[in-house]
């Protein structure tokens, strides 16, 4: 099974996008993504210095755009990836890259969201001098106890003996002076205490924007940073991405899920390297590749051939039952998880002149109600989502 991983903030380095822009069409694609984000990402990915690209408002859109370019180099058409990738995962802001790659949101939606995410997190970071430091090595329990003792948060539990502490700069300095036994404390090039309560204002800002975003269920299963769970519902993917801004990243649990799923190969897209290093230490026997430059594409394509699992089934992941007319909806008493036969009545839509029974043309399991009792609905508006069972009326 092939996994695609998408890195987070701190993985960028000056000039890392330069070789990618030599590929046909990449410069124009980056110009388009730059226009959507409202930033000159070509300049930041090629000539901007380390201080500039460390700025959260710059770093986050740059990382997502770089990932999208790398994916375009790996899979010329998104459907090529959908057929062979077994699972996808992103670390922190990389979850937006993964969501776009899996078809949950468009590339343009991802750039709008990440631009706002970066600005909101930069604003939240400016309220109090905060940062993050990697704690590498040491006993896991002692490391967590040391982080807590200094009033810090284990914002990233990355596995492979690495925990990232986040909080005020004074507290991080104190942790550095009082490092846990056999552990090193390494300051990271980020501008705030991400994935802590310091980012709560950014969650509110991003949540408002996300409410206006249309989503699709993932074409490739995604792993959530919250708990390593496999998530396919597009709306749930986006909800978790928003909440994760102020919650710890459990990349260790994402890697555990990869192991449980039977992942045999992992390709990390640009700016690659960090997640590959973690996988090498935690997932022994799994082949890994950091896709740093186009020179790595030949090896990446070989890995796709060897680890990808071609899926030929045309069975949909879910089906929608929609309103036939305009009116007010009355729901049938079907709960989440209930199994419906083809031809089952799922609701009634009442207009001023008539009532219309809403019948499911397919059998399936109730996954999600998309309306509430008494809601006004329009013709064609989705009412219910079903996981198909193959029956049809």
Going by C-alpha positions, the residue among 232, 224, 112, 91 that lies closest to residue 158 is: 91
Structural element, H or E, at residue 147: helix 140-149
**What distance in Å separates the CA atoms of residue 100 and residue 216, rounded to the nearest whole number?**
10
What phi, psi does 351 have (nearest 5°)?
-110, -175
Structural element, H or E, at residue 366: strand 362-369
Mapped onto helix, strand or coil, the DSSP state of residue 324 is coil
**What distance in Å separates the CA atoms of residue 256 and residue 5, rounded to the nearest whole number?**
14
Q: Which of 91, 195, 307, 334 is catalytic?
A: 195
**What distance in Å separates the CA atoms of residue 147 and residue 153, rounded to the nearest whole number?**
7
Cα separation values, 373 from 284, 307, 330, 356, Å: 51, 47, 5, 15
Structure tokens at 125: 């970071």
Structure tokens at 374: 């008494």
Cα separation values, 389 from 99, 256, 329, Å: 26, 30, 25
Q: Which of 11, 34, 48, 92 is catalytic?
A: 92
DSSP summary character for residue 341: -
Q: Please say if 92 is a catalytic residue.
A: yes
Enumerate the β-bridge partners of residue 382.
Answer: 322
Q: Please say if 195 is a catalytic residue.
A: yes
DSSP 19-40: GGGGSTTHHHHHHHHHHHHTS-
Going by C-alpha positions, the residue among 65, 286, 66 that lies closest to residue 159 is: 286
- Between helices 107-127 and 94-101, what is the axis angle to 10°? 170
Q: Quick one: 391 exposed, middle or buried, by C-beta within 10 A (0-12, 13-18, 19+)?
A: middle
Which sequence positions are flagged as catalytic?
92, 195
């Amino acid at each position: 099974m092939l996994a695609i991983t998408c890195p987070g903030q701190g993985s960028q380095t000056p000039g890392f996008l330069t070789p990618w822009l030599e590929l046909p069409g990449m410069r124009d694609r980056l110009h388009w993504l730059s226009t959507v984000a409202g930033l000159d990402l070509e300049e930041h990915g090629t000539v901007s210095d380390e201080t500039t690209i460390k700025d959260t408002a710059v770093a986050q859109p740059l990382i997502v755009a770089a990932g999208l370019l790398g994916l375009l180099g790996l899979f010329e058409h998104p459907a090529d990836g959908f057929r062979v990738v077994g699972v996808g995962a992103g670390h922190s802001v990389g979850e937006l890259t993964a969501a776009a790659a899996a078809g949950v949101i468009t590339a343009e939606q991802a750039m709008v969201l990440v631009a706002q995410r970066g600005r909101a997190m930069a604003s939240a970071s400016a309220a109090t001098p905060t940062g993050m430091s990697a704690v590498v090595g040491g006993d896991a329990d002692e490391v967590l106890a040391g982080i807590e003792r200094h009033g810090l948060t284990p914002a990233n539990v990355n596995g492979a003996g690495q925990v990232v502490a986040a909080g005020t700069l004074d507290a991080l300095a104190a942790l550095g002076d009082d490092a846990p036994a056999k552990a090193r404390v390494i300051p990271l090039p980020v501008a705030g205490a991400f994935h802590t309560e310091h980012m709560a204002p950014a969650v509110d800002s991003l949540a408002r924007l996300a409410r206006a975003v249309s989503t699709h269920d993932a074409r490739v299963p995604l792993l959530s940073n919250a708990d390593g769970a496999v998530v396919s519902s597009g709306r749930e993917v986006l909800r978790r991405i928003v909440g994760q801004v102020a919650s710890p990243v459990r990349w260790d649990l994402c890697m555990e899920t990869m192991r449980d799923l039977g992942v045999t190969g992992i390709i990390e897209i640009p700016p690659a390297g960090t997640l590959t290093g973690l996988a090498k230490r935690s997932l022994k026997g799994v082949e890994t590749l950091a896709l740093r430059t186009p020179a790595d594409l030949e090896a990446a394509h070989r890995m796709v051939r060897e680890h990808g699992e071609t899926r030929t089934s045309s069975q949909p992941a879910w089906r929608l039952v929609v309103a036939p007319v305009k009116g007010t909806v009355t729901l049938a008493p079907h709960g989440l998880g209930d199994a419906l036969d083809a031809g089952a009545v799922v609701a009634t839509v009442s207009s001023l002149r008539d009532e219309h029974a809403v019948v499911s043309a397919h059998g399936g399991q109730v996954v999600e109600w998309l309306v509430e009792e008494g809601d006004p609905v329009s013709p064609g508006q989705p009412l219910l989502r079903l996981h198909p069972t193959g029956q049809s009326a």
